[in-house]
Amino acid sequence: MDLPVEVSPEEAHAALAGEGAYLLDVREPWEWAERRIPGAVLIPLVELPGRIAELPGDRDVYVHCRVGQRSRRAVDYLRGSGRPRTVNVAGGIDAWEAAGLPVTR
C-alpha cells in the first residue's frame, strides 16, 4: 500500500493507535519541553540526517513539527533517502491540539 505524503492529525492518531505507527517530532528541544504528543520521539530536523538509522524500517513513520513545514521537509528528505513509509502530519502539533487530540504539557 502506498502511503500518502500527508494526512490529517486525526488520520495520524488513528494510525498510531490502531496500526502501531511511529511518531517522530522534528521540533527543537525547547518546543518539546513546552508541549509534546504522547509517544512521540524527538529528533530535531537538523539532527535527522545523522540519526536516520534510529527510525524503524518496519513501521510507518508519521512526522510532525509545530505547523507542518519542517515535518514536510523531513518527509521529503526521508523519502528521498529510501524511507517511503514516512508521512507528514498536516498542521503539526498546533492542528493536533486544535483537533482535541492528546498533548502533554
Cα–Cα distance, 28 to 10 (Å, whole number): 23
**Among residues 71, 44, 41, which one has the least CA distance to residue 56?**
41
Q: Residue 88 domain-assigned?
A: yes
pLDDT at 20 over 80: yes
Q: How does residue 103 score in pLDDT terms, banded at 50, 70 and 90?
A: very high
Q: What is the pLDDT of residues 23-51, one digit of tens each?
A: 999 999 999 999 999 999 999 999 999 99
Cα–Cα distance, 33 to 54 (Å, whole number): 21
- Please report, for the domain that includes residue 36, its CATH number: 3.40.250.10
Q: Residue 103 domain-assigned?
A: no
CA dihedral 91, 29, 75, 24 (to 10 degrees): -90
Q: Residue 92 domain-assigned?
A: yes
Q: Residue 104 domain-assigned?
A: no
Q: Residue 1 domain-assigned?
A: no
Q: What is the pLDDT of residues 67-79, one digit of tens each?
A: 999 999 999 999 9
What percent of the chain is predicted at pLDDT more than 90? 94
Q: Has this prediction a pTM greater than 0.85?
A: yes
Count of structural domains, the chain = 1
State the pLDDT at residue 2. 80
State the pLDDT at residue 16. 95
Q: Report the mean per-residue pLDDT for the chain.
A: 96
Is 97 considered catalytic here? no
Q: Residue 105 domain-assigned?
A: no
State the pLDDT at residue 1. 58
**Domain limits for position 36:** 6-98
- Selected catalytic residue, list 21, 65, 87, 89: 65
